[in-house]
Amino acid sequence: MTASRAPAEPEVRAFEATVESVDGREVVLSETFFYAESGGQPADRGTIDGVLLDDVTERDGRVVHVLSEAPPESVAVGETVSAVVDDAFRTYCARAHTASHVLYGAARRTCEELGYAGFDISAEKVRVDLTTAEPLDDADLVELERLANRAVWDSLPVSWETLPEAEARAVPGIAFNTKTEEGAMSGGEAVRVVTVGGRDEADADRESDAASAWDVAACGGTHVRNTREIGPISVLDRSNPGEGVTRVEFAVGPTAIDHDAAVHAAALDAATSLDARVGDLPDAVDRLRDEVDRLEGELRAARADLLTARLAEFPTVEVDGATWAVGTVDDADPNDLREPAEALLAGDGDVTDGDAPDAVAAVGTGSAPFVVAAVAEGAAGGDGPGGGGPDAGAVVDAVTDEFGGGGGGGPTFAQGGGLDADPEAVAAWLRDR
C-alpha cells in the first residue's frame, strides 16, 4: 500500500521515490507526498521527473499519479524519480482546509443542532455545508466571519493524530460522519483526528483538550500548523442546496483580500453618495428608504389623480337608464384603474354635465387590450345591459363574449383581458350596446 504521506507531513514539497509500476500515463511510487483527491480537497499539482501531473487519485489502496503525457524513459519500474509538489497550490489547499475547520468551529458557537454535511475546495472559494435548526441569515454570516478571523488572530495550534475508530468516535464534540470519514479512514480501522486549538499542553488529557478545542474533526486532509497561517477569511455567500442544509461559501488568501477590498470600496462609494460615514450607512439607508416610500406614495396618488381626471373626460352615454362614462386609456393596467374609477363615481372629478356617472367602462390600449368596468355602489344591481341596473361583471362578460378573452368580477368592479379587437372599436361597442 502506498498511502500518501501528505496529511502527516504537509510541509514536504520535494522528495525522491522508486517507481513501483507504470501503466500508460499512470505511475505508482514506493512512497508519495502528493495528496490524492479526497473528501472535498482536490489533488495536489506538481511534477515527476519534470512531467506535469494531470491527477492524483487513490485506487485499490494505492496512490496513482496520472501524468499529463507519456512518461519519459527515466520513469521506469525500479528507477528513482524526483517529485515536486506545487508549493502555491498545496499551501492554498492547506490554508483553505484548515479554514473550513475554523469556520465550523465558529458555527459551533453560533448555531443550534449543528451538523456537518460536507465541504469542497475550488481555486477561488471554499464551501462548507452545515445542517442547523434554523437557516442562517446575514447577521449569522457576519458573526461566523468575525469569529473565524478572531480564531486566526488568536494563533491557535493545529494538530493531528491517528486513533482507533472507537476511540476517535468517543472524542467529545468530534465532527464525524460519512462525509468526514472519507479520507480520514481510508478503508482502515484507524481514524485521523484533526484538532484546532486546545492541545497545546503536553500533559493535557484528550477529553479536556477536546472540550476546550476550537474544533475537532475526523479528517484526512492537509492542514497548516497554526491558524495564523490561514490569513483573512472572507464569507462570500450562503445558499440552501437541500432541506435543512445551509451552504456557506468563503474565500481565503488573495481572493479574500480582493473581496474585502471591493466591499470596502463599495461601502466608501455608497457613503460618499449618501454624504455619510461608512459606519452610519444603515441609518442613511433607512432615511433614504423612508424618503423613497414617501415619494412613491405621492407618485401613486398623483398618478391616481391623473387617471381620475382622464376618466372624467370620457364621453357619457345612457344605457338602460344608467349614465356610463366610456373611453380608452393609455399607459395603465387594470389594477391601476380601480381606485381612480371609484373616485370618479364618488364625485371626485369633472364630467361633461357636472354630475358623477353611474358607471365607467375603460378600455386599455397597447399590445394587450383590456376592459375595466366599475359601477357606483348605489347604482349596482340587475343583469347588466337590458337589466334592472348596471352590473360591472355582466358588462365585462358581454365584452369578452363579443371580442374574445376572459375575465370576471362582481357587480361593482370587473376586468377582462385578451381582447381581440381595436380598443376604439370596443369602446364604440360599449357606447352603442
For residue range 282-330, what is the model confidence (pLDDT) as tens digits? 999 999 999 999 999 999 899 889 999 999 999 999 988 889 999 999 9
Task: Name which of 17, 151, 132 is nearest 79 in CA terms.
Answer: 17
Percent of all residues in the chain with a pLDDT value above 90, rounded to a whole number: 70
Residues of the chain with CATH 3.10.310.40: 305-432
Residue with cell 511534477: 47
Looking at residue 2, its pLDDT comes to 67
For residues 334 and 429, the answer to whether their CB atoms sit within 8 Å is no
Looking at residue 261, its pLDDT comes to 95
Assigned CATH for 14-85: 2.40.30.130
Q: Which three cell numbers stand for residue 27?
A: 505511475
- The beta-carbon contacts of 8-14 under 8 Å, at least 24 apart in sequence, are 8/160, 9/33, 10/90, 10/94, 10/222, 10/223, 10/224, 12/85, 13/84, 13/85, 13/87, 13/90, 14/82, 14/83, 14/84, 14/85
pTM (2 decimals)? 0.73
Rg (CA), the chain: 36
Query: Which residues partner with 26 through β-bridges?
Result: 23, 66
Looking at residue 204, its pLDDT comes to 45
Report helix, strand or coil for 210: helix
- Give me the mean pLDDT over the 48-64 stretch: 95
Over 90: is that where the pLDDT of 379 sits? no
Residues of the chain with CATH 3.30.980.10: 91-261
Looking at residue 208, its pLDDT comes to 42
Q: Which three cell numbers stand for residue 66?
A: 496520472
Assigned CATH for 305-432: 3.10.310.40
Over 80: is that where the pLDDT of 116 sits? yes
pLDDT-derived band at 177, boundaries 50, 70, 90: low
pLDDT-derived band at 359, boundaries 50, 70, 90: very high
Looking at residue 349, its pLDDT comes to 56
Report helix, strand or coil for 292: helix
What amino acid is encoded at 83 in this protein?
A: A
Report helix, strand or coil for 85: strand
Contacts of 46 (CB under 8 A, 6+ apart): 34, 52, 53, 83, 84, 85, 86
CATH of the structural domain 91-261, one choice from 1.10.620.20, 3.40.50.2300, 3.30.980.10, 3.90.870.10: 3.30.980.10
The CB density around residue 37, as the number of other CB atoms within 10 Å, is 14
Residues of the chain with CATH 2.40.30.130: 14-85
For residues 384 and 371, the answer to whether their CB atoms sit within 8 Å is no
